[in-house]
Chain A
Amino acid sequence: MFAYLDAGTGSYIIQLVIAGFLGGLFAIKLFWKKIGALLKRVFSRKREHDQPPE
């Protein structure tokens, strides 16, 4: 690999500094997304059950 752009030391370091915070935030976001999807599935299944048979 070669990088033709100068990433810049400061731009590299700020990423390493905020990495933990952003990684954590993203993990929480993914977790809530999964919970949301799970709840959606449970409720949509329940609604299917609640519907009277045609």
Chain B
Amino acid sequence: MTSLRSDVEVPGSFRDPSGFLFWRDGVLYRQVNAVYRDDYDLLIGSGLSGALVDDGLLIPHEEVDVEPARPELAYKILKPTPVPFVSYPYEWCFSQLKDAALTTLRVQKRALEFGMSLKDSSAYNVQFVGARPVLIDTLSFERYHEGRPWVAYRQFCQHFLAPLALMAHRDVRLGQLLRVYIDGIPLDLASSLLPLRTRFSSLLMHVHLHARSQKRFADKPVNLDKRRMSRLAFRGLIDSLESAVKRLRWRPHGTEWADYYDETNYSPEAFEHKKQIVSQLLDEAKPTSVWDLGGNVGVFSRLASDRGIGTVCFDVDPVAVERNYLRCRREERTNLLPLLLDLTNPSPGIGWANQERAPVQDRGRAHTLLALALVHHLAISNNVPLERIARLFSRLCDTLIVEFVPKTDSQVQRLLATREDIFPDYTQEGFEREFGRCFELRDSAAIPASHRTLHLMARRQEV
């Protein structure tokens, strides 16, 4: 599998024999195999690749003259423009998944104009550069043969339409089923979970009847050679899917977290003070990248993003992530990525050998971590000892900007209102002691008109 050059093949890139991704000396390359030669030449020669790149729909790449990872299979080696942070569909909010679906269909429509078609429509082939979805798989195209149905129709319905319909019509949290089903939500499952009203829309065809048809013809040999699907019908199918996706809407309602800033005990002045202090600490830390954990709607992420720093804002609440994403889209931000993540149960490695889709902590690390108004939730609501919180943070970053909220604060009082206080070590001294094992304190500041403190810390080398 691996050549002497210590190339590392990307574990999620083995299904399609057209080629694969590999790392060499910290650079990501894509090998195009000889078996894909005709389609690759058509993609480039027809002008489709250039048109898609110009439209911002396909990740740019350059052909490079380097030794292939597997020379016996190789046709070309490409060097794609790297994506700042790789994210997966179960980490996207509703509108991110919807925009990824619409991008896939836009690419398919454009491909048809150039006599090509998508041969897969995996949600994992779309990545976000800030608020902009972009197709990353250059090898997803094949020559369009008039008469043939869309080979990726099933995958599109499972990866996009079914989860979006479930999120819009049943419960937004059902998007998390994508974490269980790596090839999209089975259509019979989606059909049984969707409410009756979805049978009076185009979801009837694409999900309900589609699921029935799958069940009816499962394992039945059927000669499909004589059945044809005209180009007009093919375009009609893509158009119908596009309308179906566009009609799916989810309006975020207030949740505990989405209204968080309205309900915190910060006065507007104290909140402004906090923003000023965080800005100062960011200027002191000079980050090259920032992860904002528990970043809510991204108020503090924007302080980093406005400084031109690539930022990922994680939050557990789908409403907060949705609001953050919609705002990023309006602002056309390309360096802030909002993502859904439960820190107490982060995305694990899934798929073949648990390696196909990597756990979140294996997909990169931050120069600077923002953990603002977060530690008390982890320590008190989730019973995570301070020492473990510090250890996790030290694995994720070099520099930490962390807020400590003491027991005297009304938010912590609220968390303790319905439970016994079993946290004798949750004190300012305990916090400094435990975090001091992993980090060196560089700076601290009290937030005026509150009991809270902010700290800038650098990871100890020996940790």
Q: Is B120 an interface residue (CB 8 A)?
A: yes
Main secondary structure of the interface of A (DSSP, over half): helix
Mask: chain A, 10-47; 1 = CB below 8 Å from B; 0 = not: 11111111111011111101000000000000000000
Contacts of A7 in B (CB 8 A): 149-154
Assess whether B233 is interfacial by the CB under 8 Å rule: yes
State whether A26 touches B232 (Cβ < 8 A).
yes
Does B200 interact with chain A (Cβ within 8 Å)?
A: no
List, in ascending order, chain B residues with CB within 8 A of A9's CB.
Answer: 217-218, 220, 222, 224
Query: Interface centre among B151, B152, B222, by most A CB within 10 Å?
Result: B151
Q: How far is the CB of A3 from chain B (nearest CB, A)?
A: 5
Instruction: Tell me the bound Cα distance from A19 to B148 in angstroms.
Output: 11
8 Å CB contact of A11 from B35, B119, B153, B232? B153
- For window 206-232 of B, CB contacts with A under 8 Å fall at 209-210, 213-218, 220, 222, 224, 227, 229-230, 232
Beyond A4-B18, A9-B222, A14-B213, is A22–B233 a contact (Cβ under 8 Å)?
yes
- The answer to whether the Cβ of A8 comes within 8 Å of any Cβ in the partner chain is yes
Shortest C-beta distance, B246 to chain A (Å), equals 14
Inter-chain contact A5/B210, CB cutoff 8 Å: no
Residues of B within 8 A of A2 (CB): 17, 35
B323 within 8 A of A: no
**Contact yes or no, B143 A1, CB < 8 A:** yes
* Contact indicator B224/A4 (Cβ below 8 Å): no
Residues from chain A with a CB closer than 8 A to the CB of B308 are: none
User: Complex: how many Å from CA A22 to CA B220?
Assistant: 26
Tell me the minimal C-beta distance from B84 to chain A in angstroms.
29
* A residues less than 8 Å from B237 (CB atoms): 15, 18-19, 22
**A residues near B356, Cβ cutoff 8 Å:** none
* A29, B234: Cα distance in complex, Å: 14
A1 to B151, CA, bound (A): 12
C-alpha gap A43/B233 in the complex (Å): 32
Contacts A5-B155, A9-B217, A9-B218 given; does A15 touch B229 at CB 8 Å: yes
CB contacts under 8 Å to A, within B235-258, are 235-237, 239-240
Q: Closest A-chain residue to B39, C-beta based? A: A1
Whether A19 and B222, one on each chain, are in contact in the complex, defined by CB atoms closer than 8 angstroms, is no
Q: In the complex, what's the smallest C-beta–C-beta distance from A46 to chain B, in angstroms?
A: 31
Q: A-B pairs with the 3 shortest C-beta distances?
A: A26-B236, A10-B214, A22-B236
Query: Taking beta carbons and an 8 Å cutoff, which residues of B are in contact with A?
Result: 15-18, 35, 39, 119-120, 142-143, 145, 149-155, 157, 205, 209-210, 213-218, 220, 222, 224, 227, 229-230, 232-237, 239-240
